[in-house]
Amino acid sequence: MLSAYLPVFLMLLVATLVALGMFTATSLAGPKKPTPEKLLPYESGSNTTGASHLRQSVKFYLTAISFVVFDIEAAFIYPWAALFRDLGWVGFVAMVIFLAVLAITLVYEWKKGALEWER
């Protein structure tokens, strides 16, 4: 069973090695002649203004939580669809109730204006 996942582990390993190798190679092979100007934070050639970290609008959070919720919904539909014929009407009705509740959630979100970016 586990040998079927060997390619996945190999890919993870190669990806990690490539990322680490790139960082190591650039720091080893790149020329380093630091001057005070070079060590300044770069912001399109002009002097930096304000803090480097800015607060994000709460609209991003609303979008993110909507994504998580409907992502989980999709994750539940996938195993149900794989066994759709064997589950029969009971499984169908169960999924219809599940989807109906989340459809109400979507309508609520819509009516509250959470899907609008400008408000």
Partner 1 sequence: MTDAKFLLFFFCAAIALAGAIGTIASKLPLRAAMSLLVTIIALAGLYLTLDAQLLAAIQVLVYAGAVVVLFVFVIMLIGPAPETSSAPGSVVWRMLSLVGIAMITATFAFSFVDVASTWVAPPAGFGTVRGVAGEMYTKALVPFEIVAMTLTTAIVGALAIARSKTASELAEMKRRRVAEDASAAAQPAE
Q: Is 117 among the residues that bind partner 1 (CB under 8 A)?
A: no
Whole-angstrom Cα distance, residue 10 to residue 8? 5
**Position 1 contacts partner 1 (CB under 8 A):** yes
The answer to whether 69 and 102 have CB atoms below 8 angstroms apart is yes
Are 70 and 102 within 8 A, CB to CB? yes
Q: Name 95's Cβ contacts closer than 8 Å, sequence gap at least 6.
A: 77, 80
Q: How far is the CB of 17 from partner 1 (least distance, A)?
A: 16
Of 1 and 28, the one with the shorter C-beta distance to partner 1 is 1
Residues 52-91 that bind partner 1 (CB under 8 A): 53, 55-56, 58-62, 64-69, 71-73, 75-76, 78-80, 82-83, 86-87, 90-91
To partner 1, the closest distance from the beta carbon of 31 in angstroms equals 29
Q: Which amino acid is at 87?
A: L
> In 3-state terms, what secondary structure has residue 48?
coil
For partner 1 (CB under 8 A), the number of binding residues is 47
